[in-house]
Amino acid sequence: MSGEGKKPPMDTDGHRYGKGGEEEKPQMDTDEHRLGEGGGATTRFLGRGDLEKLVAELLGAGTRVVAPVDAGKGETEYRVVGQFTDAKLGAALPRRSLKEFFLPPTEELFRWRRDGAGLELQEAPASFPATVILGAFPCDAAAVQTLDKVMGWDYRDDPWFGRREATTIVALACNGQDGSCFCTAVGLGPDAARGSDLLLTAVRDGYEVQVLTAKGAALVGRHAARFAEACDEDPARNVRREACTRVSSNLQATPEKIRGWLQANFEHPIWKGIALRCHGCGACAAVCPTCHCFDIVDEPEGLAEGARRRNWDTCQTPVFTLHASGHNPRADQNARIRQRLNHKFRIYQERFGELLCTGCGRCARACPGGMDLPELLGALEKLAVSAPVPVPASAPVPAPAGGAFIPPPGGAR
């Protein structure tokens, strides 16, 4: 992020932890590691041949490398690669986001074994393989940083931060995918640096490399022979500017206005028909880089042992909110879509000062019923502009000291 212009408006130090008490730092603040704040990031050049050699060196050193690979039908998926040529850089946006490399669809939290009257607990491994994610899309890298906030909120999520610390994200500036991209409408862009340790921009013969964090600098330092002095920055800047222009034409929105409107219009008639075509299938949440809700289950394996696991969950299913009494506070799909929009564009922002959406457009692409988030945002924008709601300058609802469910005065964590 060469200093100027593209800094996402939400990307301020928006942590609302422990306001008024002693200043609590989030468990991992990647902003801290950002080198180029205000002065532009350090820039290098990485030739195509050197990128191939870099990957060979990483693999040779036992580092796990993840990159988009061909998944057939013109689609790609992020997968662990065995060699550079498996990677398909700068092609289609992978079917699912990066989140599964930090919050897997299922993971063991611990195992138990009963032995007579005794009970033995075995913790899940707490060390994670050193990983470089190569060719991450900026919308996916940004999402990971957004999720650091909730993962380090009232409880430090060790598996999440363990994987975060073990992983270096090398993003590649995107050219924009199609008409469903709207990263520029949520304060990011196809060249957003947020969440990335290095940001590459494809130029002739190679990549311009922006070194964004200490972790990124360390990677460059370890493989210094691969990186040349900075190239002429103009071609890369032009590539990025053109991509931004392209994506901006898809959707113009003012998330602050939408947030105010959402807050004031929980019972607006628009919600009554918002989700007629929605099947409640949850594919949107599965492909979303920021949907992070999980369920925790105990699964016996035989009579004497078993595992506690956490699994992806989604607010789009009735059982997500079904009470033991049989009552369901979200009675139908309209209520569930209202929840999804509120969580992404109001609640998370009120809690953490950030939108829970990076504009990747995957939900629209994946939806079998044709629900289209950019279209819905456009409609909300129109409503918000035509009936503006005064928005307080700062977040209106400070997070309770102990998180949503734990309000003991004095705030034991």
Which is closer to other proteins, CB of 275 or CB of 391?
275
Query: According to the binding rule CB under 8 A, does residue 88 interact with other proteins?
Result: no
Token pair, residue 378, equals 């456009």
Establish if 184 lies at the interface with other proteins (CB under 8 A): no
C-alpha angle 347-293-121 in degrees, rounded to nearest 5: 135
| Contact status: 177 vs other proteins (CB under 8 A) | no
Instruction: Check binding of 109 to other proteins (CB under 8 A).
Output: no
Question: Can residue 369 be called a binding residue for other proteins (CB under 8 A)?
Answer: yes
370 binds other proteins (CB under 8 A): yes
CA–CA separation, 258 and 278 (whole Å): 22
Among residues 228, 276, 397, 406, the one that binds other proteins under rule CB under 8 A: 276
| Pick 95 or 268: Cβ nearer other proteins | 95
Measured from the CB atom, the residue of 1 and 367 that comes closer to other proteins is 367
Q: Counting contacts by CB under 8 A, is residue 299 touching other proteins?
A: yes
Helix 373-386 vs helix 255-264: angle between axes, to the nearest 10 degrees? 80
Q: Does 86 bind other proteins (CB under 8 A)?
A: no
309 binds other proteins (CB under 8 A): yes
Nearest CA among 3, 48, 360 for reference residue 202: 48
Q: How far is the CB of 185 from other proteins (least distance, A)?
A: 14
Least distance to other proteins from the beta carbon of 267, Å? 16
CA contacts within 13 A on the Cβ side of 130 = 8
Task: Tell me which residues in 129-168 interact with other proteins (CB under 8 A).
Answer: none
User: What minimum distance in Å lies between the beta carbon of 134 and other proteins?
Assistant: 21
Q: Closer to other proteins at the Cβ: 106 or 248?
A: 106
Choose between 329 and 390: whose C-beta lies nearer to other proteins: 329
Q: Does 372 bind other proteins (CB under 8 A)?
A: yes
Give a three-class secondary structure readout of the chain: CCCCCCCCCCCCCCCCCCCCCCCCCCCCCHHHHECCCCCCCEEEEEEHHHHHHHHHHHHHCCCEEEEEEECCCCCEEEEECCCHHHECCCCCCCCCCHHHHCCCCEEEEEEEEEECCEEEEEECCCCCCCEEEEEECHHHHHHHHHHHHHHCCCCCCHHHHHHHHHEEEEEECCCCCCCCCCHHHHCCCCCCCCCCCEEEEEECCEEEEEECEHHHHHHHHHCHHHEEECCCHHHHHHHHHHHHHHHHCCCCCCHHHHHHHHHHCCCCHHHHHCCCCCCCCCHHHHHCCCCCCEEEEEEEECCCEEEEEEEECCCCCHHHCCCCCCCCCCCCHHHHHHHHHHHHHHHHHHHHCCCCCCCCCHHHHHCCCCCCHHHHHHHHHHHHHHCCCCCCCCCCCCCCCCCCCCCCCCCCC
Does residue 135 contact residue 68 with C-beta atoms inside 8 Å?
A: yes
- Residues 46-75 as x/- pattern, contact with other proteins by CB under 8 A: -------------------------xxx-x
Q: Which stretch binds other proteins (CB under 8 A): 121-129, 216-224, 271-279, 348-356?
A: 271-279
Binding segment for other proteins (CB under 8 A), chosen from 1-9, 117-125, 339-347, 362-370, is: 362-370
By CB under 8 A, is residue 332 in contact with other proteins?
Answer: yes
| Residue 319 touching other proteins (CB under 8 A) | yes
CB 278 to other proteins: min, Å: 9
Among residues 131, 168, 333, 342, the one that binds other proteins under rule CB under 8 A? 333
Q: How far is the CB of 258 from other proteins (least distance, A)?
A: 18
Binding residues for other proteins, rule CB under 8 A, total 44
92 binds other proteins (CB under 8 A): no
Least distance (Å) from other proteins to the CB of residue 282?
4
**Contact set with other proteins (CB under 8 A):** 71-73, 75, 95-96, 105-106, 179-180, 273, 275-277, 279-283, 285-287, 295, 297, 299, 309, 311-312, 314, 317, 319, 331-334, 364-366, 368-370, 372, 374-375
